[in-house]
Amino acid sequence: MTRRIWLASYPKSGNTWLRILLANLSATDAPVRINHLTSDEGIASSRQQFDYITMLESGLMHHDEVALLRPAAHISLPRLTREERDDAGDEADSQGDGARYVKTHDAYTLNPAGEPLLGGMAAAAGAVLVVRDPRDVAPSLANHNGTTVDEAIATMANADNALCAQTDLQPNQLRQTLLDWSAFNASWLDQTDLPLLLLRYEDMQADIAAVVRRLLDFGGRRESDAQIARAVAFADFEELRAQEREEGFREAPRGSFFRRGKAGGWREELTEDQVRRIERRHRAMMVRLGYAPEYD
């Protein structure tokens, strides 16, 4: 059975960049096109996969009813045959041999029955938590959602924040409980079900090849230094932005997805008041993750 590794992150923290790097490990002559990546199918909240495995229409169910069945669905998916995973819309073996890294924006929470929503150790061999300075997340999230930075800061402080939680329409994915930025990261750092690898966006920018090597080693996947170097070149940020200018990116709901990709860019984008609000709300987690507050 293929080893599954959750690739968890609060939105706009570098998850997509890592997925593009992983996809380019199998590329040879040219970079993988960003719109050839799986989107809904390669995420833990895929409605298509849930409906296929449970043989139920999730759109006719309440969010909590879906949550009661999600652990069993996550546990079942890796046990399907390759053909069955194709039918379920799974990105079967697109990442090559060994571990499969599956995106999730779900915080590590329990469902109403007290079970790990993502199935715990029966569904995955481990998890990678990708984190980013919340001061850089805020302007990136604002651009992604088409909101103001102040609204993004408020969203990051909302303990009840969730994606696809509407009840008056059917979102394209299942509900994903985010919590606030600090609580999301704490949920993964403090869970004891799965081995965890912590990766920082800032370390990715400093030495992305070394971070990819850590990621692959954690999943027990072997790739040569030459393959990693080629993937890094193919996933260069300027290459990704050029592709998005040419054909757009289907994961970008508003504006550009590959906006700046700059660590510390918040110094040029946030006001002092905005920085103080972020640091006041998330100081403890920032310190825990190595992000030094600017103000006392």
Reference 265, options 174, 141, 137; nearest CA is 137
- The pLDDT of residue 92 is 39
Residue 90 near residue 79 (C-beta atoms within 8 A)? no
- The pLDDT of residue 9 is 97
By the 10 Å C-beta count (0-12 exposed, 13-18 middle, 19+ buried), 186 is classed as: middle
293 domain residue, yes or no: no
For the chain, which ranges sit under pLDDT 50? Answer: 39-41, 81-82, 84, 88, 91-96
Residue 255 near residue 248 (C-beta atoms within 8 A)? no
The total domain count for the chain is 1
Per-residue pLDDT reduced to its tens digit, 252-262: 555 555 555 67
Number of neighbouring beta carbons within 10 Å of residue 252: 16
96 domain residue, yes or no: yes
- The pLDDT of residue 290 is 97
275 domain residue, yes or no: no
CA torsion, points 124, 59, 161, 252, in degrees to nearest 10? 80
- The pLDDT of residue 252 is 57
Helix (H, G, I), strand (E, B) or coil at 196: strand
Reference 235, options 7, 21, 37, 28; nearest CA is 21
Q: What is the pTM of this model?
A: 0.87
Neighbour order of strands in the sheet with 196-200: 100-104, 4-9, 126-131, 196-200
Per-residue pLDDT reduced to its tens digit, 21-59: 888 888 778 777 766 665 434 799 999 999 999 999 999
Q: What's the gap between Cα 280 and its chain centre? A: 25
267 domain residue, yes or no: no
- The pLDDT of residue 99 is 80
138 domain residue, yes or no: no
Strands 176-177 and 162-163: antiparallel
- For residue 48, what is the domain's CATH number? 3.40.50.300
> Which domain does 246 fall in, by range?
4-133+161-258
- The pLDDT of residue 95 is 46
154 domain residue, yes or no: no
187 domain residue, yes or no: yes
**Treating both helix axes as pointing N-terminal to C-terminal, what angle do 15-24 and 237-247 enclose, rounded to 10 degrees?**
90
Residue 163, φ and ψ in degrees, nearest 5: -95, 145
**Treating both helix axes as pointing N-terminal to C-terminal, what angle do 272-289 and 181-190 enclose, rounded to 10 degrees?**
0
264 domain residue, yes or no: no
Reference 220, options 102, 98, 103; nearest CA is 98
- The pLDDT of residue 26 is 81
